[in-house]
Structure 1
Amino acid sequence: MFQFGFNMFPEIPRPFNMIYQCHSVAMLPGNERQDVERGGKIIMPPSALEQLTRLNINYPMLFKLTNKKTNRVTHCGVLEFVADEGKVYLPLWMMQNMVLEEGDLVRIESVSLPVGTFSKFQPLSPDFLDITNPKAVLENCLRSFACLTTGDVIAVKYNQKIYELCVLETKPGNAISIIECDMNVEFAPPVGYKEPEKVKKEDEEMAVDPADLMPEPTGICALQRHGKSIRWQETEGFRDQ
């Protein structure tokens, strides 16, 4: 006789859907949190973790953020669950993308995103080209991100300077997970970038031998020289007759 346990059929994950009051990371009590500012993850309250656990949400935890006033949408991961109850803290660049002010309401929903295979970025200033290895700098920055959304403008900090890059394209979808993925990265020319004008070199005058301008003989030709004719044949060259 078979005995069935309660865990034979795993519990199906249920969606997480909450509305929080949002604030920038600068408003988070305690020490300055640059690790949040330079990434793509948010800080949520402890009660959110309890609810996510009860809902059996799959890892990694990814979320869709929506500003109902402007219909702006982005996606993110979560860094910690230490926010005050009823509040979430977002990086400044994320609040700017969402057109959110301090204390505005934001809807947060759990989502499952495809693993990214391709992304294309456009720097918003030609200054980004001053970086010796921009691709390596970007890849290092993206380690603090959980996902990317087409149309977002992310902030990359390097050598005490902040560079803004627009996410032009992501594959295989408009929002992708970039956690432990093998993703190709490309850059579009920066906004305002102009190709340097090529220096035109003056054509150097070449000495021309007048003999080079004479047409080469073809077939058989005859010339008179001191009563003799000089005949040229293709196989035998010149010979006097």
Structure 2
Amino acid sequence: MFAGFNMLHDMMPSRPFKTGYRAYSVSMLPGNERSDVEKGGKIIMPPSALEQLTRQRVVYPMLFKLKSDSTKRETHCGVLEFVADEGKVYLPNWMMRNMLLEEASLITVESVSLPVATFSKFQPQSEDFLDISNPKAVLENALRHFACLTTGDMISIIYNSKVYELCVLETKPGPAVSIIECDMNVDFAAPVGYKEPEIEPKKEDGVCVDSFEMDHESGGFQAFGGAGQRLDGKKKKEESVNGDAPNAQTASQQKGTYTRGIPDYDYQPGVIRFMRHAKPQQEKEEVAEDFKYFSGAGRSLRDAKSRK
């Protein structure tokens, strides 16, 4: 008989837990200060709630939706302990601020089942969050004290005795997700008030000049344009009398010819040009019109007497 009753009890579907409580901040909890509650997203409920949850066979992990009829705000949380006074629940201060609750405000606590998180995006509310060397690791460590996340919540984490607030911008696969034993990707948005550093262009004679345009227009850019030096300290043979090495590359640029290593700015797609260094043709000497080839008189190396 008892075996059949137990089997019937196991087959009965679980009923949702839904009860009204007076909400108080953790600072109102009797006894020693509970800083561990402020570090996460879990609440403290009365012992009668545990008895009722066990009797109604609520699925683990125990997740709850907190809703305020007066402020029309809601959020989701887990439970840390069942040691509160009857009719009361104690919430972290950041959760009280999100729901716009005052001490002893009436809220409804309802058990829910949430999907497992796969992605979440946060936005720091201060640029001081960028001073943390590894913010992703700090956030992942702080989220171990949370049971779930709700889109739109402003959560608080504590690192090096400093409180950082982060807004939950997005959660997937739903607006409220469970983060217990999950593989979740975390992303950050730019902090509130953050501006990208502006790169100022170079200034020349009080006028801002773009370095690329200046080099392109004036021909200032030269690939490997530095002067060479000998290891023995002697001067190079190609140096001129004044000691200035000739720059063939600059000279070729002034003539308008293509130099190896310099981009061809006149390039047209589909056209292949072969650059050749053509030698200048020598000018022909002008010849007089009355000039005749081999018209001179002949001369003999012997005297006339020797011929006789």
- 1:49 matched residue in structure 2: 50
CA distance in 2, matches of 1:146, 1:4: 36
Distance 2:84 2:70 in 1: 24
Kindly state the Cα deviation for residue 52 of structure 1 after the two structures are TM-superposed: 0.3
Aligned AA for 2:7? N
Q: Distance in 1 between matches of 2:280 and 2:165?
A: 80
Shift of 1:213: 2.9
Q: Does 1:39 align with 2:40?
A: yes
Find the partner of 1:223 among 266, 281, 287. Answer: 281
Q: Match of 2:27?
A: 26
C-alpha distance in 1 between matches for 2:251 and 2:276: 19
CA radius of gyration, larger in: 2
Q: Say whether residues 1:169 and 2:170 are aligned partners.
A: yes
What letter matches 1:181 in structure 2? C
| C-alpha distance in structure 1 between counterparts of 2:199 and 2:62, whole Å | 51
Q: Which residue of 2 aligns with 1:7?
A: 7
1:214 aligned residue: 255
Q: CA deviation at 1:94?
A: 0.3
Report how many residues are paired.
226
Distance 2:129 2:278 in 1: 70
**SS class of match (1:26):** helix
Corresponding position of 1:70: 71
RMSD: 2.3
Task: Select the structure that is richer in helix.
Answer: 2
Unaligned runs of 5+ in 2: 204-210, 223-248, 258-274, 287-308
Aligned-pair CA distance for 1:226: 5.4
Question: What pairs up with 1:1-241 in 2 under 5 angstroms?
Answer: 6-7=6-7, 10-201=11-202, 203=211, 205-206=220-221, 209-216=250-257, 223-225=281-283, 227=285
* Larger deviation, residues 201-210 vs 119-128: 201-210
Give SS of 2:50's match: helix
CA–CA separation in structure 2 for the residues paired with 1:119 and 1:227: 87
Q: Which secondary structure state, in structure 2, belongs to the residue aligned with residue 224 of structure 1? A: coil
Q: Distance in 2 between matches of 1:199 and 1:220?
A: 45
Residue deviations 1:53-78, cap 9 Å, x none? Answer: 00000000000000111210100000
Shift of 1:183: 0.1
1:152-199 deviations in Å (ceiling 9; x for gaps)? 000011111101000000000000000000000000000000111124
TM-score normalized by the length of structure 1: 0.87
> Distance between the aligned counterparts of 2:108 and 2:90, measured in 1?
13
How much has 1:214 moved relative to structure 2? 2.0
Provide TM-score, normalisation by structure 2. 0.69
- How far apart are the structure 2 equivalents of 1:39 and 1:215? 72
Point out the structure with the larger strand share.
Answer: 1
Q: 213-222 or 69-78: which moved more? A: 213-222
Q: Which amino acid aligns with 1:53?
A: T
CA separation in 2, counterparts of 1:79 and 1:173? Answer: 24
Aligned to 1:7, the other structure's residue is in SS state: helix
Instruction: State the alpha-carbon separation in 2 of the partners of residues 162 and 222 from structure 1.
Output: 79
CA distance in 2, matches of 1:30, 1:220: 98
TM superposition shift of 1:206:
4.4
> How far does residue 200 in structure 1 lie from its aligned partner after superposition?
2.8
- 122-131 or 209-218, which deviates more: 209-218
CA distance in 1: counterparts of 2:4 and 2:83, whole angstroms: 40
3-state secondary structure, aligned to 1:194: coil
